[in-house]
Structure 1
Amino acid sequence: MLLLDGKNAVVYGGGGSVGGAVARAFARAGARVFLAGRTAVSLERVAAVIRAEGGVAETAVVDALDEGAVDDHADGVVAMAGSLDVSLNVIADSDVQGTPMVEMSLADYLSPVVTAVTSKFLTARAAARHMVRQGSGVIMMFGGTGDRAPMRAYHLGGLLTAFDAVEAMRRQLAAELGPSGVRVVTLQTSGIPESIPADADQRAAIEADLIARTLTGRAATLADVGDVAVFAASDWARTVTGAAINMTCGAVLD
């Protein structure tokens, strides 16, 4: 059974590691995938893999902070495919980390908040306008709110504030869009080791910390994220909205 057969799915940030993994999973589940992002080369690389596996993928260079570009792209998807059934935004939030908050500028602290709220609002709104008219659809966020314990080992700046802001947006969108048959969910992760750049400072230490926080001794993989995303986007999850789907392997307890 193809859980997403006949569905049209937009993945913002589709050229990245997480977005690419989800896009491939969507395509394997039968969806026609529309990859959007700022770098054509990375988008085409993912699209080529999907096509080689027998899937259907389209690409478009879209700045998710550009209101007109986001709206035009969503309109174009519907004009081409007839519907917009799934919208997932996995674009990394611009942030400044490594500086204690007491030494951080206001602009640096607000950077991830402004980026996250702007891109998630614009992409969700563009999708919702079409989904409300068709009476169905799924809008998905990615990341969620982490452990409430103080993150003393890291100077994360406004990143956690950005996550909380997006979660507040998700809850309000779910409340407003539910009567129109539109679901809004978050794919909650405490970190995906495979998504950490190979040349990142302290990569090994970060990966070890992510795994140590879990209850299972292993963190979620990119394949895990793709599988959960397919479930969340499908009718098998039709009762799930306004919620975060916890894939933290117990790093965050509900």
Structure 2
Amino acid sequence: MTLTPLPSFRLDGKRALVTGGGRGIGAAGAEVFAQAGAAVTLCGRTAADLDDRVREIREAGFEAEAFVLDVTDIAAVRREIGARGPFDILLNNAGVNRIRPITEVTEEDYDVVLNLNLKSALFVAQAVAKGLLESGRPGSIINVSSQMGHVGGAGRSLYSASKWGLEGLTRCMAIDLAPHGVRVNTICPTFIDTAMTRPILDTPGTRDFVLSRIKLGRLGRMEELTGALLLLASDASTLMTGGSVMVDGGWTAG
């Protein structure tokens, strides 16, 4: 009897690009991809954060490099990614949030959130996809979405709009790129316990509300996202495209 072969989660011989790689989900994803054998390239706006992550990955014996990039500069995105590619894996992570009641949202708020979370995500993915198509290589694009790309929330109109848009963009990209062997999916986290989320959670009433919606009754931990990220990046997910991987502790279950 021949047993069904185990899937491989290794990324040996692959190159991964991570936007917003200096901290948070980007940093965690870069560290895991490197440990799985990928040559990781991090980019972001803060050189010191990027340098710290690269040093940590290299000191652990893995391969990493970084460059400074503001992904809202579309000309720079095309130039820099085009010069450094092709990349087999993209973790399209750079993002921002501005929490405002709908009556207080400004045009400047709209431009900041939608330009980074949706417009920049599109053109970063486009640049990586073009590199893959030109080289005739398959690949995996992972767009970092959110549970808020599937539900709504008080004060989250701009963030939710950007993530709902990213979900639609991902499905259309998946259809366009499937004939070329390039897969496109989203990962949709819930609230993760980080230094960035703690000020939000410390707003009166917010933590209790969040915990009431997460069916597991607790915040997520950063390392609980990395299994899904590695799945989507690796050949263990070769039949997955145009989908959303929910890592939300049951928030969107009902």
Aligned residue identity for 2:145: G
Secondary structure of the residue aligned to 2:251 is: coil
CA contact 1:113–1:165 (8 Å) conserved in 2? no
Secondary structure of the residue aligned to 1:245 is: strand
Residue 93 of structure 2: aligned partner: 90
- Map 1:24-39; keep pairs closer than 5 Å: 24-39=31-46
Tell me how far 1:219 sits from its aligned partner.
Answer: 3.3
Residue 14 of structure 2: aligned partner: 7
**Structure 1 stretches of 5 or more lacking a match?**
none
RMSD of equivalent CA atoms: 2.2
1:18-45, Cα deviation, whole Å (9 max, x unpaired): 1111110111111110000011000011
Residue 73 of structure 2: aligned partner: 66
Distance 2:233 2:248 in 1: 19
Distance 1:205 1:245 in 2: 28
Aligned residues: 246
TM-score, normalised to structure 1, is 0.88
Q: Which moved more, 1:224-233 or 1:186-195?
A: 186-195
Q: 1:126 to 1:115 in 2, by over 3 A?
A: same
Is 1:175 paired with 2:152?
A: no
**Structure 2 stretches of 5 or more lacking a match?**
1-7
Secondary structure of the residue aligned to 1:55 is: coil
Distance 2:237 2:103 in 1: 43
- Map 1:36-47; keep pairs closer than 5 Å: 36-47=43-54
Aligned residue identity for 2:41: F
Residue 219 of structure 2: aligned partner: 219
Distance 1:149 1:168 in 2: 14
TM-score, normalised to structure 2, is 0.88
Is 1:240 paired with 2:240?
A: yes
Distance 2:200 2:185 in 1: 30
Is 1:143 paired with 2:145?
A: yes
Distance 1:8 1:68 in 2: 22
Tell me how far 1:97 sits from its aligned partner.
Answer: 1.9
Distance 2:166 2:83 in 1: 26
1:126-169, Cα deviation, whole Å (9 max, x unpaired): 00001123230111111235386652xx3224111111111111
Secondary structure of the residue aligned to 2:18 is: strand
Distance 1:2 1:140 in 2: 15
Tell me how far 1:186 sits from its aligned partner.
Answer: 0.3
Aligned residue identity for 1:112: V
CA contact 1:142–1:187 (8 Å) conserved in 2? yes
Q: 1:147 to 1:60 in 2, by over 3 A?
A: closer
Residue 105 of structure 2: aligned partner: 104
CA contact 1:15–1:43 (8 Å) conserved in 2? yes
Q: 1:11 to 1:208 in 2, by over 3 A?
A: farther
CA contact 1:196–1:203 (8 Å) conserved in 2? no
Q: 1:209 to 1:23 in 2, by over 3 A?
A: farther
Aligned residue identity for 2:139: G
CA contact 2:140–2:233 (8 Å) conserved in 1? yes
CA contact 1:111–1:158 (8 Å) conserved in 2? no
